[in-house]
Amino acid sequence: MADEAIPSISSGVVGSRFVSQSDIEAARTRREEQWKAAYARLGQEPPPPPQEDAYDGRSLAEKLAANRAAKQEEWEEKTKLANQFRALEEDEIMFLDSVRERQEIEERERKVRDGEELKSFREAVAAKVVVKSPPPVSTPESVSAAAPKITPVPVKKPPKVSLKGVIVKKKPKTASEAKAQRVDHEDASPDPKRRKVGLRS
């Protein structure tokens, strides 16, 4: 009674579009037989049939997420820092060693050249000094007399020509300095217009 209440799948619109697994298998075997017969007529051996993927029950979102994760791992592996460098080959090592040795030789030669030039320059400067001022012939009396008379040469200050437009500010005087200067000024020269007024007795 329950079977009569359920409508048949083969009846109706849905039933006309439904294909069973047995129908798919029959169509696949028929297609393989046709391929084999066609190759037999040509006298060739048919290629091996392509392997169909096993049924994967995962949803499309899960498959895409797995593919994305696999691609991300592959990209990270490719761009890892360790993969960006490779070991040097034997000929590269030999070339770099020869370049380094050549640079060291050039550096040594340059230092020797510079040392010789510096030595010759010092000798030339020393020879000029000796030629300009021959050593004075001195007697024992003049040596003892000349030694204490050495006086330092005062350093001349250049004129202040280059300081045009500069304003010089005077330091403000403290109260005690101003008072001392005023007292000195009064004592030094009395003003003729001013008289000293005193008590006459």
pLDDT at 48: 78
Compute the mean pLDDT over every residue in the chain, rounded to the nearest whole number.
77
Q: What is the total residue count of the chain? A: 201
CA gap 58, 64 in Å, rounded: 10
- Does residue 93 sit within a domain? no
| 131 or 139, higher pLDDT | 131
Asked, for residue 28, whether it belongs to a domain, the answer is: yes
Lowest mean pLDDT among 25-29, 76-80, 154-158: 154-158
DSSP category for residue 166: P
Average pLDDT over residues 184-194: 60
Give domain status of residue 20, yes or no.
yes
Give the pair of three-digit tokens for residue 6. Answer: 């359920």
Please check whether residue 42 lies inside any domain of the structure.
yes
Structural tokens at position 91: 């000929």
> Taking residues 134-140, what's their average pLDDT?
58
What would the DSSP string read from start to end of 101-166? HHHHHHHHHHHHHHHHHHHHHHHHHHHHHHHHSPPPP--HHHHHHHTTT--PPPPPPPPGGGGTTP
Who wins on pLDDT, 51 or 14?
A: 51
Percent of the chain with pLDDT over 90: 30
| pLDDT per position as a tens digit, 38-88 | 888 888 887 777 777 777 788 999 999 999 999 999 998 888 877 677 788
**Mean pLDDT of the 145-150 span:** 56
Q: What pTM, to 2 d.p., does this model score?
A: 0.27
For residues 121 and 8, which has the higher predicted lDDT (pLDDT)? 121
Measured CA to CA, the distance from residue 99 to residue 93 in angstroms comes to: 10
Q: Quick check: is 142 in a domain?
A: no
pLDDT at 26 over 90: yes
Residue 69 domain flag: no
How many other β-carbons are positioned within 10 Å of the β-carbon of residue 18?
10
What region does 18 belong to: left with phi over 0, alpha with psi -120 to 50, or beta?
beta
Its domain, for residue 24, covers 16-49
pLDDT for res 130? 82
| Tens digits of residue pLDDT in 96-109 | 999 999 999 999 99
45: in domain: yes
**21 part of a folded domain:** yes
Task: Count up the domains in the chain and report the number.
Answer: 1
Q: pLDDT band for position 198 (50/70/90)?
A: low
